[in-house]
């Protein structure tokens, strides 16, 4: 896997399908997983290899530690396979969770992809810009 980078703006069609750019589809593979993102009002999209890493980490830990996380992630996860035009269906419960109704931002974040409602993505970018100094400090703390 090469990694997922860039931001792509698209529109949800009337059947709740969204186009996944070829640049991302190539690394996601023929089938991938879509779930709710725990730390953001967005959807997380994982290639099978990254999904299996996440699933295996959670399986190694006792339910008393990660049961709620497993319930949150797995109860609303779906496998997705793009159609011949590169579109995937966003189930209504996932679209509702992320507040997606029309315009979407598809954002590469290295090891996975996020799908935001466009307005939520613009708010995220504004918040990031306001917190650049805090991010610089985090980078220094972790040696980047």
Which domains are assigned to the chain? 7-141 (3.40.1550.20)
Reference 28, options 41, 37, 38, 19; nearest CA is 19
pLDDT tens across the length of the chain (144 residues): 578 999 999 999 999 999 999 999 999 999 999 999 998 999 999 999 999 999 999 999 999 999 999 999 999 999 999 999 999 999 999 999 999 999 999 999 999 999 999 999 999 988 888 888 888 888 899 898
Q: How far apart are CA 50 and CA 33, in angstroms?
A: 9
pLDDT at 136: 87
Q: How far apart are CA 78 and CA 36, in angstroms?
A: 10
pLDDT at 20: 96
By the 8 A CB rule, do 36 and 94 touch?
Answer: yes
pLDDT at 135: 83
């Amino acid at each position: 896997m090469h990694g997922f980078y860039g931001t792509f703006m698209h529109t949800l069609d009337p059947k709740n399908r969204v186009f996944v750019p070829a640049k991302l589809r190539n690394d996601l593979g023929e089938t991938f997983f879509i779930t709710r993102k725990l730390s953001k009002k967005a959807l997380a999209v994982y290639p099978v290899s990254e999904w299996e890493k996440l699933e295996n980490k959670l399986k190694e830990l006792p339910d008393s530690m990660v049961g709620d996380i497993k319930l949150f992630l797995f109860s609303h996860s779906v496998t997705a396979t793009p159609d011949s035009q590169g579109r995937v269906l966003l189930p209504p419960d996932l679209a509702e969770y992320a507040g997606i109704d029309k315009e979407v931002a598809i954002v590469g974040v290295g090891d996975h992809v996020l799908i935001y409602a466009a307005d939520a993505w613009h708010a995220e970018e504004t918040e990031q810009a306001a917190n650049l100094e805090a991010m610089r400090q985090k980078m220094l703390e972790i040696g980047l």
